[in-house]
C-alpha cells in the first residue's frame, strides 16, 4: 500500500468534468487550440444522473484544463548535487503527473495518472475534430 501511495503522491488529482475546472493562464500555450470531440461518455448529467458525452463547452474547458495541468517548462531541469550526497531536481513548476478520473456506468470511477496532454486526451476519449468547419 505504501508503494502505491508513493507512486501516486506526485500526481495532482483532477476529476475530469466532475469538479470545477482549473482556469488556464492567458499566457498558456495554444498548442492544442484545435477543436476536440468526445468518443466516450465521461460526464454525469446533473439532472438525470446518467452518463453522457460532454458538451462542446465542457470539452473546451476540459482541454484548456488538461493543457494547463500537463504543461512542462520550456527549459530542461538539471540535477543539482546536495551536500552530504544525493541530488535535487527542480521541475521548474511542472507537475510529475496529473491524476484523471472518468466515471463508469456502474457508478465507480476509473483513474489514471497521465504525464502529457495526449495521454490524458486518449484516456478521456477526446480526439481532434478533423471535419472542416
- CA-wise closest residue to 113 among 7, 1, 6: 7
What's the rounded mean pLDDT across residues 54-73? 90
**Residue 42 is placed in which grid cell?**
465521461
Whether the Cβ atoms of residue 98 and residue 114 lie closer than 8 Å to each other: yes
Distance CA 89, CA 3 (A): 21
SS3 27: coil
Q: What is the pLDDT of residue 79?
A: 78
Q: What is the pLDDT of residue 5?
A: 34
What digits encode the pLDDT tens for the residues 69-126?
Answer: 888 766 666 778 888 888 887 666 655 689 999 999 999 999 999 989 999 999 999 9
Q: What is the pLDDT of residue 47?
A: 94
What digits encode the pLDDT tens for the residues 9-50?
Answer: 333 333 333 333 333 343 344 444 689 999 999 999 999 999
Q: What is the pLDDT of residue 123?
A: 97
Q: What is the pLDDT of residue 19?
A: 36
Q: What is the pLDDT of residue 74?
A: 61
What's the rounded mean pLDDT across residues 49-78? 87
51: pLDDT strictly greater than 90: yes
Amino acid at each position: 500500500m505504501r508503494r502505491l501511495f508513493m507512486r501516486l503522491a506526485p500526481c495532482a488529482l483532477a476529476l475530469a468534468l466532475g469538479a470545477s475546472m482549473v482556469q488556464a493562464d492567458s499566457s498558456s500555450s495554444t498548442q492544442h487550440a484545435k477543436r476536440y470531440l468526445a468518443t466516450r461518455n465521461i460526464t454525469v448529467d446533473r439532472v438525470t444522473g446518467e452518463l453522457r458525452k460532454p458538451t462542446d463547452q465542457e470539452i473546451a474547458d476540459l482541454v484548456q484544463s488538461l493543457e494547463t495541468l500537463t504543461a512542462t517548462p520550456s527549459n530542461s531541469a538539471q540535477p543539482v548535487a546536495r551536500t552530504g550526497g544525493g541530488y535535487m531536481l527542480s521541475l521548474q513548476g511542472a507537475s510529475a503527473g496529473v491524476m484523471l478520473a472518468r466515471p463508469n456506468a456502474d457508478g465507480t470511477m476509473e483513474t489514471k495518472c497521465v504525464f502529457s496532454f495526449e495521454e490524458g486526451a486518449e484516456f478521456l476519449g477526446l480526439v481532434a475534430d478533423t471535419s472542416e468547419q
